[in-house]
Amino acid sequence: MLYPILALLCGLVLLVWSADRFVIGAAATAKNFGMSPMLIGLTIVSFGTSAPEILVSIMASTSGAGELAIGNALGSNIANIALVLGITALIAPLPVKSGVLKKELPLLLAVTLLAGVLLFDLKLTLIDSAILLAALVLCLYLFGRFQKSADTSDELNPEEDEEIPELKTSIAIFWLIAGLTVLAASSRMLVWGASEIAYSMGVSELVVGLTIVAIGTSLPELAASVASALKNHHDIAIGNVVGSNIFNLVAVMAVPGLVAPIGMDLIVLQRDYAVMLGLTLALMAFALWQKPPSISRLEGALLAFAYAAYLALLYTMTVS
């Protein structure tokens, strides 16, 4: 058990570090090529913070641990909303920009419902994965359209723009490639360690993916969101989480079906997907019923409590 535990811990540490380097390199590269800050946040940064989930999903699928990959996608979305936004809102209330409320959040809900339809037969097939990848292309197109039609009030202010580092293109590309390389290695290490621990303890790959791996691969989002709140750049957090959750469903969850058809238990729909959908609806409700739209500290506490309750439910169902 010692080596798997060390691999899991080292994998998580390297995963967070390399994700940070990858995001910095990707954002700086995109900025140097003239992309707007808002579009960078919705695409490059969101995709970058979802890179651990994507790579873990690839490594898990090619290692024959497809259920871990599906659990990682669903669990990461649950952790992003309940844990990441919950803790961030406890630090400081999170304003929700009108563009996110009217466009990105409804898009996330639509993608979540699509994932539910595809998983309804308790299988993830090649056709399902192809549909998810087509949805990925559509989402990227819509992000571009959203940016063109965005209100000027939804643009990042100069202080928020400073969150994107000023790097020479050559240095930015170096960190982009180096970050991605370490991400790949640390993802492989994490999946191996998590799988070995699961086997030795009799815990299913699905539960490991929903908990240990999901929390680990959500650490980049948590670190970025908490740092933004501490620097009073609160609105960055929600956009990052919404974008990451969309990528998790249309990119991360598409991977296992591309490798081989994956079957799953009914509990995936009844418990995990239902919790993810419920949290997505709660996020929209929290943002809608306040003027101006925001996630308050009380709502952050409710989200964090919901995540603790979900982990308690997983534990109870695993030991029973």
Please report the pLDDT score of residue 136 as a whole number. 92
Higher pLDDT, 173 or 318: 173
23-47 per-residue burial string, b: 16 or more CB within 10 A, e: under 16: bbbbbbbbbbeebbbbbbbbbbbbb
Quote the pLDDT of residue 235: 57
- Does the pLDDT at position 45 exceed 90? no
Average pLDDT rounded to a whole number, residues 48-66:
75
Q: Any idea which of 89-98, 106-115, 243-252 has the lowest mean pLDDT?
A: 89-98
Fold topology of 42-54+66-161+202-319: A middle domain of Talin 1 (1.20.1420)
pLDDT at position 159? 47
Better pLDDT: 268 or 32: 268
Which of 14-23, 77-86, 278-287 bottoms out in mean pLDDT, i.e. has the lowest?
Answer: 14-23
**Which H or E run contains 202?**
none
**Residue 101: exposure state from Cβ atoms within 10 A (0-12, 13-18, ≥19):** middle
Encode burial over 55-90: b for 16+ CB neighbours within 10 A, e otherwise.
bbbbbbbbeebbbbbbbbbbbbbbbbbbbbbbbbbb
Domain residue extents for the chain: 42-54+66-161+202-319
The rounded mean pLDDT for the chain is: 82
Q: Long-range contacts for 262-267 (Cβ within 8 Å, ≥24 apart)?
A: 262/66, 262/67, 262/69, 262/70, 262/123, 262/124, 263/122, 263/123, 264/67, 264/70, 264/119, 264/122, 264/123, 264/124, 264/206, 265/122, 265/206, 266/122, 267/317
